[in-house]
A = this chain, B = another copy of it.
């Protein structure tokens, strides 16, 4: 059965190659710059081969997005469901998100910009994937914040994630696309956040 096993392995590897090539392209060029031609060229495979592994472009992309987004979901879930003080856990969340998006800038770019528009008609599935991701994160966050005494917050619990998300996004944006040299300091961000929202 070793032949079969080898085949299986090779198949998985080939999938990986396609996925890697696509991710690389996504990181370099953003979602609008990805074509099946470019993927095939980068993966050093024929265009036809891509369709052996993925039903169509949309499925390829949405699988990749889903896969990559799940990595962040898993990490955040682990933190948010673990024991610990508010400050410690929030700092971990900040650090995790920043590390993740440092590694996956293209997702950072795409993620809050995937809107149902005629331009994305041909990517309904991808849009759905991102939408599911956001809802998932929202649910996790809501549950997380509700673990703590509501009375200590200066603003409504639901707004907490809006504020933290905004702060992290601000620093990441400054870091990646801004002019000034900035360091991503989760302690600092946590301090601003906590002073802003805690009584």
Copies of this chain, whole number: 4
Question: Is A174 engaged at the interface, CB distance under 8 Å to the other chain?
Answer: yes
- Assess whether A170 is in contact with B180, with CB atoms less than 8 Å apart: no
Residues in B with CB closer than 8 Å to A58 are none
Residues in B with CB closer than 8 Å to A115 are 30, 109, 177
Question: Is A162 engaged at the interface, CB distance under 8 Å to the other chain?
Answer: yes
- Among A4-12, A77-85, A188-196, the one that faces the other chain is A188-196
Q: A112-B177, A162-B170, A182-B162 are in contact. Are A154 and B32 (CB under 8 A)?
A: no
Question: Is A1 engaged at the interface, CB distance under 8 Å to the other chain?
Answer: no
Question: Is A2 engaged at the interface, CB distance under 8 Å to the other chain?
Answer: no
Residues in B with CB closer than 8 Å to A168 are 166
- Among A13-21, A65-73, A86-94, A117-125, the one that faces the other chain is A117-125
* Residue among B28, B119, B182 making CB contact with A30, cutoff 8 Å: B119
Question: Is A179 engaged at the interface, CB distance under 8 Å to the other chain?
Answer: yes
Classify chain A's interface size: 35 or more
- Assess whether A159 is in contact with B182, with CB atoms less than 8 Å apart: yes
- Assess whether B118 is in contact with A33, with CB atoms less than 8 Å apart: yes
* A47 CB to nearest chain B CB (Å): 12
* Residue among B135, B138, B166, B180 making CB contact with A167, cutoff 8 Å: B166
* A23 CB to nearest chain B CB (Å): 15
Interface string of A147-174 (1 = CB under 8 A from B): 0000000110011001111111111011
* Residues 125-152 (chain A) with a chain B CB within 8 angstroms: 134-135, 138
* A188 CB to nearest chain B CB (Å): 7
- Assess whether B197 is in contact with A192, with CB atoms less than 8 Å apart: yes
